[in-house]
Structure 1
Amino acid sequence: MTGTPTAGPAGSRAPFGARLAAAMAEHGPLCAGIDPHPGLLDTWGLSDDADGLRTFALTVVDALGGRVAALKPQSALFERHGSKGVAVLEEVIAAAREAGTLTIVDAKRGDIGSTMAGYAQAYLADGSPLAGDALTVSPFLGPGSLTPAVELALATGRGLFVLCLTSNPEGHEVQHARSAGGESVAAQVARFAAELNAAELGAVELGAVDLEAPGSEASESAADWGSGGFGSIGLVVGATIGDAARTAGVDLAAVRGPLLAPGVGAQGAGAEELAAVFGDARSQVLASSSRGVLAAGPDVAALRTAAKTAADEARGALATR
């Protein structure tokens, strides 16, 4: 990825937050999903099996690699094809890496103890074929249950997107529930991310994390984000949740990390809705679009046009006014 810093905590890559900020600055605030739903496979004229899955997913990488801020393969839609499907997911992650594009593996893993440590090793450890640049995780067994994933992500220059405020109707019942002290579950999750990002960014500012080691090309935008407030622990926040962040007492800007947001632009949320949801945190938003882009396939040129349109729409809708 042109202009993206590569040095990091282990000497191999810069922190995920800095790398994502550089990618967003270069390509726009769009994360393109790779969601091989049976209906989309059929629309593309592909069989609903591992062969069709592979053609679909690698076509998306070929079309959009190096052209969007990030790609987000939906793990479940690969897993449904068994071991062959998981092997395709490994190919997709490797192909995106070769194209210089960040991958967010959308697996929403969450557990405790050794099981969470196992998930962390699978999706975040150097050398694992399933390890992209970031992983979506669920904190609803308690944010502290994510500690193995947090530690490994930060040690390897990777990131996490923690479910916080989702748009599904049932999510409200859990995410807005409050502790005896009056803090909502969503606010606890956001505070957890904010504290981790504050510690990481403090290390950057003190020089403990090197954004520009010899041989790397750290862009000015990435360095600015790294020192100015873009950590590697992000949140998943639906773009169509209205004033849910406010009513749950969540300060999204204070998280100082990326906000992965389904539902931006053609998917339903425009400038007015985004101002209500994200407020002063709009510059942190990474808009996620899957079917809106993928429906343009299988033609590569059409996929590229759809992605550029989605990125331009997201940029315009998220512009602060």
Structure 2
Amino acid sequence: MSAARQIPAGSGSFGERLRQAVEARGRVVAGIDPHSSLLEAWSLPDTPDGLREFSRIALAAVAGKVAAVKPQSAFFERHGSAGVAVLEELLAAAREAGVLTILDVKRGDIGSTMGAYAQAHLLPGAPLEADAITVSPYLGAGSLAPAAQLAAEHGKGLFLLALTSNPDGPQVQHARTTADTPVALEIARHAEQIGNAGHGEWSSVGLVVGATVGEAYRRLGLDRAAPSVPLLAPGFGAQGAGPAQLPEVFGENAGHVLVSLSRGLLSAGPDEAALGARAAQLQADYA
């Protein structure tokens, strides 16, 4: 794995801000995913105006009750420039409300192209600025160096796809490298290296590890390779995982898990009070 600039720890780092948010508001991360079916269930049109109202209600309901929000960019992008404009508004509104944002974009490329993706999302003042983004390391984890460098400079975060919850993921993620180590393990090692957290601190570079991967996270050695990284964990709620999977899947690193919930939370809408109550209950369930 090629070297990348390390993201410094400290009070201004994303990792530290995330740790403080989890301590204050629990581990749940609210996915803001305006599926067409959810818009219909909320009696909203599948249009940019529908996305705007959906996003407004969701953010207002969970602000102060969750560690972060995680908009899924694809559900905004499918509406073209008007949908992307709504995403810009959502990210800005969350920032103004003091809510951390993890933008789920899964960017992954090389060289100047990766640098441009990073500038779009990690550069302060950018229209689509977020506190952290998801990235794909499958062109080689070192290919993410431009994003790691920009994150280091501006106190932002990255979440590297490592062990995803889709059934075909193991074909690539469990495969062995030329050094005869699992690909996912090499990604975890890289995240730990560039995150550069001090003792007891949270790294600003995390991993995406599905809550439905069973014993793979520990069997492949990711727990030992990257003990300081936050773990963004989809798969809870509608996909079948529950509170029992925190210790079962993540073992001693369960305290670093961010429980990503979308449908399990958003199905309580569109009533803002009901959404807020569901968020509070989920925080208690996964405490």
CA distance in structure 2 between the aligned counterparts of 1:270 and 1:253, rounded to whole angstroms = 25
Is 1:151 the counterpart of 2:123? The answer is no
The corresponding residue for 2:68 is 70
CA distance in structure 2 between the aligned counterparts of 1:185 and 1:58, rounded to whole angstroms = 39
* Secondary structure of 1:251's aligned partner: helix
CA distance in structure 2 between the aligned counterparts of 1:196 and 1:65, rounded to whole angstroms = 30
Q: Provide the aligned length of Structure 1 versus Structure 2.
A: 280
What TM-score, normalized by structure 1, do the two folds share?
0.84
1:261 to 218, 227, 233: 233
* Identical counterparts, % of pairs: 57
The corresponding residue for 1:91 is 89
Q: Shift of the alpha carbon at 1:265?
A: 5.4
Residue identity opposite 1:281 in structure 2 = N
CA contact (8 A) 2:192 2:225 kept: no
CA distance in structure 1 between the aligned counterparts of 2:138 and 2:193, rounded to whole angstroms = 18
Q: Shift of the alpha carbon at 1:104?
A: 0.3
Residue identity opposite 1:247 in structure 2 = R
The corresponding residue for 1:22 is 20
1:238 to 199, 203, 210: 210
Q: Deviations over 1:247-280 (max 9, x none)?
A: 3232257340110011235753234432221011
CA distance in structure 1 between the aligned counterparts of 2:224 and 2:283, rounded to whole angstroms = 22
Q: Shift of the alpha carbon at 1:46?
A: 0.6
CA distance in structure 2 between the aligned counterparts of 1:59 and 1:136, rounded to whole angstroms = 24
1:281 to 253, 257, 265: 253
- Aligned ranges for residues 1-321 of structure 1 at < 5 Å? 14-197=12-195, 199=196, 201-202=197-198, 228-251=200-223, 254-264=226-236, 267-315=239-287
Q: Deviations over 1:134-159 (max 9, x none)?
A: 00000011000100001101210110
CA contact (8 A) 1:167 1:241 kept: yes
Distance change >3 Å, CA 22–CA 85, structure 1 → 2: same
Q: Deviations over 1:16-65 (max 9, x none)?
A: 00000110001100100000000000000011010101100111111111
Alignment root-mean-square deviation, CA: 1.8
CA distance in structure 1 between the aligned counterparts of 2:218 and 2:279, rounded to whole angstroms = 31
Residue identity opposite 1:297 in structure 2 = G
Q: Shift of the alpha carbon at 1:127?
A: 1.0
CA distance in structure 1 between the aligned counterparts of 2:91 and 2:224, rounded to whole angstroms = 29
The corresponding residue for 1:221 is none
Task: Single out whichever of 65-74 and 183-192 deviates more from structure 2.
Answer: 65-74
Distance change >3 Å, CA 310–CA 266, structure 1 → 2: farther
Unaligned runs of 5+ in 1: 1-7, 203-226, 316-321
CA contact (8 A) 1:164 1:186 kept: yes
Unaligned runs of 5+ in 2: 1-6
CA distance in structure 1 between the aligned counterparts of 2:31 and 2:283, rounded to whole angstroms = 13
Task: Single out whichever of 174-183 and 76-85 deviates more from structure 2.
Answer: 174-183
Residue identity opposite 2:24 in structure 1 = E
CA contact (8 A) 1:190 1:255 kept: no
CA contact (8 A) 1:253 1:281 kept: no
What TM-score, normalized by structure 2, do the two folds share?
0.93
CA contact (8 A) 1:35 1:74 kept: yes
CA contact (8 A) 2:223 2:250 kept: no
Q: Shift of the alpha carbon at 1:230?
A: 0.6
CA contact (8 A) 1:266 1:310 kept: no
CA distance in structure 2 between the aligned counterparts of 1:45 and 1:271, rounded to whole angstroms = 31
